[in-house]
Amino acid sequence: MTLGIDRYRKALSTPGAWGFFIPGMLARFPIGMTGISILLFVSETRHDYGTAGALSALAAIGYAVAAPQLARLADRVGQRRVLLSCAAVCGVSGSAFVVSALHTGMPLWTLFVTAAVMGAATPAIGSMVRARWSGLLESSPLKGTAFALESLVDEVIFIAGPVVATSLAVGVNPTAGIIGSLVLVCGGSVLLSLSGRTEPRRRPGNRVTGSALFLGPVAVVAGVNLCFGGMWGSVDMATVAFSGAEEQNFMAGVLLGIYAIGSSVAGVVYGAREWPAPLAQILRVSTVIMAVGILPMLLVHSFLAAGIVLLVAGASSCPAMIAAMMLVGEGVPASRRTEAMAWQSTALWLGVAVGSSASGHLADSFGAHAAYAFAALCGGVGFVVVMAGRRRLEPGPALPTTPPSNLQTSEPGTR
């Protein structure tokens, strides 16, 4: 295991890595905070849960719709310009949202407009960071380790983000959660923009045309990630319903934490070594395990058994995501990576929304086990998408890559 941990140390020791790893982590931490922060803030100030839920959903939709477009713009003009612009717009719109919510005399439409703009102005930080790793470790066997590290960061964000947001909103002030989110995304974006050494740069004269969604494996992997998101949203909702049926709601957090631990541990193990199997094969196997691994939940009626099943089922989640993102990173030209990866985030978010909604209705009508069945169905459809698009996932001709001379080596603010 020491040798495996050493791979993470080597990846982070790559010149320039710390300069974007820490800011990237800070800037995307609000992904796990903003939704719950809006819910807590608006429900406390406006005493309207329906409006709070609608505003939270609108901010998430704004992010999902705008992220690929902002990433495409970053591929065209550089990450620095997009990051600084987004930080400014997000800061202003977020501040306007807080002011509008605090002043009950303000018309309701101001909250919806500012929430939508705030979500849409949130940059696709995860995609930008992974694009930097891809350029920095272009032909290095440590690339898988770096992608595993980013997936672990995502896991931590989704686990710790809601806890931090709730603690701020309940323990400090209702506005503290949303203000904390704004400070992190704006401050982290500015810090990331200062890391000019690793910013991917397009080759002179190379124009970006068309959507990256139609390049190489991007659409296929986005379809798979849509199913992954549907599965995760369903598991979340099903687990809440499962715990509620036993009248022990607090166990939902425990069980989902176990599910996340299974994913995180598998991610650490995955990134600790170099795997000889092709990425497409790893994705196929992981997807099957995800779908089949959740099926025992259809028969489980105890928390102990549920914890064991979710621990095992979660173990395939992180490796599947790592393989999927690496396939995208290796399957498109360097000049299109940020947008290509942003499409994956959008697909995941949409999948989570669909999965949460569908499984919620199923849980209300037929119980938690029906919601778990929908999760397994999402995993099965994901495997079908993988198999149907297997030709797109196989390695093709060598793609144009960004050589070291194309990395931005000038100081921030210079060209």
Give the per-residue pLDDT at 413.
31
Q: What is the 3-state secondary structure (H, E, C) of 188-253?
A: HHHHHHCCHHHCECCCCCCCCCCCHHHCCCHHHHHHHHHHHHHHHHHHHHHHHHHHHHCCCCCHHH
pLDDT at 401 over 70: no
Return the structure tokens found at 406.
Answer: 């194309």
Query: 31-44: per-residue pLDDT in tens?
Result: 878 887 888 888 88
pLDDT at 6 over 80: yes
For the segment 58-81, the average pLDDT, to the nearest whole number, is 89
Banded pLDDT at 270 (limits 50, 70, 90): confident
Banded pLDDT at 18 (limits 50, 70, 90): very high
CA dist 200 and 136 (Å) reads: 9
What beta strand segments (E) does 164-310 contain? none
- Of the ranges 18-22, 132-136, 407-411, the best mean pLDDT one: 18-22
Instruction: Find all residues with CB under 8 Å of 350, minimum gap 6, and list them.
Output: 64, 226, 229
Cβ-count burial 179-215 (b if 16+ within 10 Å, e if not)? bbbbebbbebbbbbbbbbbbbbbbeeeeebeebbbeb
pLDDT at 399 over 70: no
For the segment 343-350, the average pLDDT, to the nearest whole number, is 86
For the segment 105-134, the average pLDDT, to the nearest whole number, is 91
Banded pLDDT at 98 (limits 50, 70, 90): very high
CA dist 404 and 334 (Å) reads: 12
CA dist 183 and 16 (Å) reads: 24
Query: 211-264: per-residue pLDDT in tens?
Result: 888 888 999 999 999 999 889 888 888 888 888 887 777 788 788 888 888 888
pTM attached to this predicted model = 0.76
Give the per-residue pLDDT at 378.
93
Of 52-66, 112-126, 152-166, 184-198, least confident by mean pLDDT is 152-166
Banded pLDDT at 203 (limits 50, 70, 90): low
pLDDT at 287 over 80: yes
Give the per-residue pLDDT at 410.
33
Banded pLDDT at 4 (limits 50, 70, 90): low
pLDDT at 84 over 50: yes
- Helix-helix angle 218-245:317-331, to 10 degrees: 160
For the segment 138-157, the average pLDDT, to the nearest whole number, is 84
In one-letter notation, the amino acid at residue 344 is Q
Contact between 25 and 163 (Cβ < 8 Å): no
CA dist 185 and 181 (Å) reads: 6
Contact between 135 and 200 (Cβ < 8 Å): yes
Query: 63-74: per-residue pLDDT in tens?
Result: 888 988 898 899
Place of tokens 């659409």: 219
Return the structure tokens found at 285.
Answer: 């196997």
Banded pLDDT at 395 (limits 50, 70, 90): low
| Residue percentage of the chain with pLDDT more than 90 | 28
CA dist 342 and 64 (Å) reads: 9
Give the per-residue pLDDT at 409.
32
Of 28-32, 48-52, 74-78, 265-269, least confident by mean pLDDT is 48-52
DSSP helix/strand/coil, 200: strand
Smallest CA-to-CA distance from 195 within 391, 7, 73, 26 is with 26
Which own/partner contact pairs does 166-171 have at CB distance under 8 Å and 24+ positions apart? Answer: 166/36, 166/40, 168/37, 169/36, 169/37, 169/40, 169/41, 169/44, 170/40
pLDDT at 30 over 90: no
Place of tokens 């990866």: 341
Q: Give phi and psi for 407, each to the nearest 5.
A: -80, 145
Give the per-residue pLDDT at 20.
93
Smallest CA-to-CA distance from 290 within 368, 225, 370, 228 is with 228
What's the whole-number average pLDDT of the chain? Answer: 84
Banded pLDDT at 209 (limits 50, 70, 90): low
Q: Look at 353 and 208; give whichever has higher pLDDT.
A: 353
Instruction: Find all residues with CB under 8 Å of 83, minimum gap 6, and list them.
Output: 74, 123, 128, 189, 190, 192, 193
